[in-house]
């Protein structure tokens, strides 16, 4: 059974999965494979919903988790976290609108919005994994313990 302390790795896995699905879906539409593109983008959206549920469950139980690194690594972490957080707040709205336009057959409007949604959503998914690694793996390794032994 998955415990609350397993959720950060679940969240990182869901973010990584969403990133792969986004890139794959983007590649397929470039090849004219519209149905496969649609399936992958709906899958990326679904994975992102599962991520959001898991993320909220984790932080509702654990609260805020502080980064323990110092110096340049802390500055790098906080910069990535800030941009990730600001853009992550936009993703649900952009993704819903973009998906809705496609499902309604409004492909010109869909493409115009997707040109913004795709890079932002991809950035958020990738930096979600980076934040996980910096918060739970890099600083854990420096401290001499791993998340699995908590």
- Structural domain count, the chain: 1
pLDDT at position 18 is 98
pLDDT tens digits, 77-132: 999 999 999 999 999 999 999 999 999 999 999 999 999 999 999 999 999 999 99
Does pLDDT of 27 surpass 50?
yes
Residues 76-80: contacts with CB under 8 Å, at least 24 apart = 76/134, 77/131, 77/134, 77/135, 80/127, 80/130, 80/131, 80/134
pLDDT band at 40 (very low <50, low <70, confident <90, very high): very high
Give percent above pLDDT 70 in the chain: 92
Round to whole Å and give the CA distance between 117 and 103.
16
Residue 104, Cβ density class (10 Å: 0-12 exposed, 13-18 middle, ≥19 buried): exposed
Q: Which domain holds residue 144?
A: 4-149
pLDDT at position 138 is 75
Q: What is the CATH number of the domain that holds 11?
A: 1.20.120.80
Round to whole Å and give the CA distance between 128 and 122.
10
Place of tokens 């952009």: 94
pLDDT band at 10 (very low <50, low <70, confident <90, very high): very high
Per the confidence metrics, is the pTM higher than 0.85? yes
Does pLDDT of 146 surpass 90?
no
């Amino acid at each position: 059974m998955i415990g609350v302390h397993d959720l950060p790795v679940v969240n990182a896995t869901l973010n990584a999965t969403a990133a792969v699905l986004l890139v794959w879906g983007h590649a397929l539409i470039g090849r004219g494979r519209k149905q496969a593109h649609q399936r992958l983008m709906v899958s990326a959206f679904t994975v992102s919903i599962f991520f959001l549920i898991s993320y909220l469950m984790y932080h509702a139980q654990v609260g805020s988790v502080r980064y323990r690194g110092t110096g340049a690594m802390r500055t790098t972490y906080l910069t990535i976290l800030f941009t990730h957080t600001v853009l992550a707040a936009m993703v649900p709205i952009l993704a819903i609108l973009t998906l809705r336009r496609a499902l309604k057959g409004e492909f010109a409007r869909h493409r115009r919005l997707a040109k913004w949604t795709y890079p932002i959503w991809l950035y958020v998914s990738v930096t979600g994994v980076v934040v996980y690694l910096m918060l739970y793996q890099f600083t854990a390794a420096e401290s001499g313990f791993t998340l699995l032994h908590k």
